[in-house]
Amino acid sequence: MQAPRNRSSKQPLWIIVLVTMVCVSLIGAYIYPPRRYAACYFFASTVCHPFGENVQPVRKRVYTDEEIASRTVINDILKMPPVQSKNPKVAFMFLTPGSLPFEKLWEKFFLVSRSSYLILSFQVDWGQISMVDAERRLLASALQDPDNQHFVLLSDSCVPLHNFDYIYRYLIHTNISFVDCFEDPGPHGTGRYSTHMAPEIEKEDWRKGAQWFTMKRQHALIVIADNLYYSKFKQFCMPGVDGHNCYADEHYLPTFFHLVDPGGISNWSVTHVDWSEGKWHPKMYRAQDVKYELLKNITSIDESTHVSSDEKKVRTKQPCLWNGVGRPCYLFARKFFPETLGNLLEIFSNYTEAS
pLDDT, tens digit (0-9, with 9 covering 90-100), for 218-243: 999 999 999 999 999 999 998 887 77
Query: HSE on the CB side for 87, CA within 13 Å?
Result: 8
Average pLDDT, the chain: 83
Quickly state the pLDDT bin for 34 (edges 50, 70, 90): very low
The whole model's pTM is what?
0.80
- Phi, psi (rounded to 5 degrees) for 91: -95, 120
Quickly state the pLDDT bin for 171 (edges 50, 70, 90): very high
Mean pLDDT across 290-318: 93
pLDDT tens digits for range 72-94? 999 999 998 888 888 899 999 99
Q: Decide which of 118 and 174 is more confident.
A: 174
Q: What percent of the chain has pLDDT over 70?
A: 78
Distances (CA, A) of 26 to 40, 53, 60, 323: 12, 19, 34, 50
pLDDT tens digits for range 180-202? 999 999 999 999 999 999 999 99
Q: Is 17 left (phi over 0), alpha (psi -120 to 50) or beta?
A: alpha
Per the CB < 8 A criterion, the answer to whether 148 and 271 are in contact is no
Quickly state the pLDDT bin for 18 (edges 50, 70, 90): low
- Phi, psi (rounded to 5 degrees) for 221: -65, -40
Pick from 135-139, 165-169, 351-355: least confident: 351-355
Quickly state the pLDDT bin for 7 (edges 50, 70, 90): very low
- The pLDDT value given to residue 84: 83
- The pLDDT value given to residue 279: 73
Q: Find the angle CA(194)-CA(196)-CA(199) to the nearest 5 degrees.
A: 110
Quickly state the pLDDT bin for 38 (edges 50, 70, 90): very low
The rounded Cα 278 to chain-centroid distance in angstroms is 24
- The pLDDT value given to residue 244: 80
Quickly state the pLDDT bin for 21 (edges 50, 70, 90): low
pLDDT over 80 (residue 43): no
pLDDT over 70 (residue 259): yes
pLDDT tens digits for range 260-289? 999 999 999 999 999 887 777 888 999 999
pLDDT over 90 (residue 295): yes
